Amino acid sequence: MAMIVALVESVNTGALEDDGHRIATATLIAAGVPEDRASAVVEEVASAMATALPAHGT
């Protein structure tokens, strides 16, 4: 949990720029998911969300 808070704080202060992919991947890895699988899951979810959500401004 402390790692997640530190990552979010880094984004909030501008020390780390992230659209959520890095933090989500790091969180899954911290939970014990292998790095390759964590990256794949994050990409799958991001892709699914991109097709499910309306575009900005519509």
Res. 58: pLDDT tops 60: no
The terminus-to-terminus CA distance of the chain in angstroms comes to 36
pLDDT at 27: 87
pLDDT at 28: 92
Res. 1: pLDDT tops 60: yes
pLDDT at 44: 95
pTM over 0.85: no
How does pLDDT run across 3-57, given as a tens digit for each residue? 778 877 887 888 877 788 888 998 899 899 999 999 999 999 999 988 886 766 5
If residue 6 lies in a helix (H) or strand (E), which one and from where to where?
A: helix 2-13
